[in-house]
Amino acid sequence: MILNRRHFVGAALAATSSALLARSTPLRRRTPSPLLPPRIPAAPRAAQQPALLAEARAALDVHASYIGRRDKIGLVDFALPSSERRFSLIDLEGGKVDHMWLVAHGKGSDLANTGYLQRFSNDPGSDASSRGAYVTATPYYGKHGRSQRLIGLDPDNNAALERAIVIHGASYVDPAWIDSRGRIGRSFGCFAVEDREVGRVMSALGEGRRVYAGKSV
């Protein structure tokens, strides 16, 4: 089999991202109250993230005509619990993970409020998260403050604009919730991040970059 430069670059980036994710520092937590149920162990990021990254890179090529900027992507691994930083900003050119953030999933994806995404949906009114490739569109100021529109590029998320699925900050995305409840809150399908981090997320992504959401397992 003949391996070209693209094969080597893709393999190197997957391996580098895996190593960096393995070394990322987990959120500090206090000992949970004995009245709370025991925490569910987090899925191992290092072993699973490269497969999702490869899936995201393949989608980047499929939707090349819609993507204005290919240097960085936002990768959301919904196989991880909401208590983990599962929204990664990946520098494709430098082969590294720049940042990792907490991000909420939709109420319709986790009806029992377990902290784990159970299902995806693209249906209006489902209040669920959708899998697939998005491209960042215009920022705006709405009821959640600074927000960023997203355009869904796949059949599984092409109703994103109709459903008003955006990136925004939320008070329920807070490490303090993890200390007291073992998880953060849920959105109505939006990629809700910490209020104090939404500006950083939006500045890092800008317009015309890709966000890819899926599950590594």
pLDDT value of position 6:
41
SS3 of 17, please? helix
Report pLDDT digits (tens) over 187-207: 999 999 999 999 999 999 999
Where residue 183 falls among pLDDT bands split at 50, 70, 90?
very high
SS3 of 212, please? strand
Using the structure block, give the residue that is written with the tokens 């900050």. 169
Rounded Cα gap, residues 201 and 19, in angstroms:
22
pLDDT value of position 49:
62
pLDDT value of position 69:
80
